[in-house]
Amino acid sequence: MSKITFIGAGSTVFAKNILGDVMQTPALQGFEIALFDIDGERLRDSEQMLLNLKQTSGSTCVVKAYNDRKEALRGARYIVNAIQVGGYDPCTITDFEIPKKYGLRQTIGDTVGIGGIFRNLRTIPVMLDFAADIREVCPDALFLNYTNPMAVLTNVMITHGGINTVGLCHSVQVCVPHLFDHLGMDPEGVKWHIAGINHMAWLLEVSKDGVDLYPEIKRRAAEKQKESHHDMVRFELMQKFGYYITESSEHNAEYHPYFIKRNYPELIERFNIPLDEYPRRCINQIEDWKKMRDSLVLDKNLEHCRSHEYASYILEAMESDVPYRIGGNVMNTGLIPNLPREACVEVPCLVDRNGVTPTYVGNLPPQLAALNRTNINTQLLTIEAAITGKKEHIYHAAMLDPHTSAELSMDDIIAMCDDLIEAHGSWLPAFK
């Protein structure tokens, strides 16, 4: 029996989307769905939820929960990863509260920036443990990574883990539909081309019937900027740099040095930037789970409609050999020549029985490549810190981060990193 292993299966709502999709896919019937999570209670909740879906969908997939990670992985053909090391309490709280003492504010903190750096440092060792198990018990499996920070973790799994990996993010497939909905434009029949790095990929081309739609997009966006709305940062970046970016404004506010500034507090209001947004979401999600748990876990009539998540479509394409196109995170094997080859890039990929095949993009417009490189610098130094165990590279990663370096002196950045290392305690490996 072929096996799909879901690591981090206690993320019940996300597991419903990914694995509910699998149960809706004819080419994936008969697979074992293997569930693993370090939280036994949440693991059992997800198992029961999926058994409910199996009953209502008529799926022939076999649902099985495992307490042993290696056994959950043994013989897997596909692996879905959706873990979060350290969770909201204590690690996310630490990522936000200690920088705040130094005057450094964040919105999401899960990609680059000081929050992204430390999320990487506590997650990379866990991911490399996964890689060791995979090499032993399912070396030919495809690893579908949904965990942030996407670019660094996907890079590490490929480069240092030796695992066939593709990183998957929601932002590519929803970019144009959400943009057009916001601007009151019809996305029907629209063609687009997106490439760059995760959370900072660029809408390079957007057209309909051969007509470039960017002039109309920019005209409508300029009108929108006259009043406060949820996407002001991205519209400002598009106005100044010429292209729209995939990930949300609350994310992009902290990827650049232009928006969150102590000496210019008016920018926060002007661009409608939600400081401390991710901790608020965590609190809301914890409360929402208490309310929705019974409706997912105890509802024997639970139903599911196939979502827009890439995972089931990738598996379907590989099993059926009917090609499918995705935006995937892969290593830059010359795909975007004016970005470093050591970087993980987000580019269009073709999926079929041969697996995930990235497509050549070519050079990005120089200003876009330059913006990407500012984030890649921090990504690569974070990997260097994790692999070498040298504390100095943590400092380097933080000092090269655009937002952090725009706000703090080098001495304060080093002191802040030391405080974060101490506060994380055993959540981090020892650095020398």
Tell me which residues are annotated as active site. Answer: 170
Place of tokens 């990487």: 120
358 half-sphere exposure, CB direction, 13 A CA radius = 22
Closest CA to 108 of 330, 403, 386: 403
DSSP lists the bridge partners of residue 200 as: 197
Cβ pair 398, 413 in contact under 8 A: yes
Is 199 among the annotated ligand-binding positions?
A: yes
One-letter amino acid of 348? P
The Cα–Cα gap between 5 and 208 comes to: 40
**Joined tokens for residue 340:** 């470093």
Is residue 429 within 8 Å of 394, Cβ to Cβ? Answer: no
As a whole number of angstroms, the distance between CA 241 and CA 220 comes to 17
Q: How far apart are CA 379 and CA 397, in angstroms?
A: 7
| DSSP-derived 3-state class of residue 421 | helix
Residue 182 assigned ligand-binding role: no
Beta carbons within 10 angstroms of residue 230's beta carbon: 12
288-297 long-range contacts, Cβ below 8 Å, gap at least 24? 289/12, 289/13, 292/13, 293/12, 293/45, 296/12, 296/13, 296/16, 296/45, 296/49, 296/52, 297/12, 297/45, 297/48, 297/49, 297/52
Does the annotation place 282 within a ligand binding site? no
CB atoms within 10 A of CB 113: 28
Rounded distance between C-alpha atoms, residue 146 and residue 165, angstroms: 11
Residue with tokens 């693993």: 36
CA–CA dist 374, 280 (Å, integer): 28
**Distance, first Cα to last Cα, the chain:** 46
Known binding-site positions for Mn(2+) = 169, 199
* Residues flagged as binding site for substrate: 148
The annotation places the binding site at: 148, 169, 199
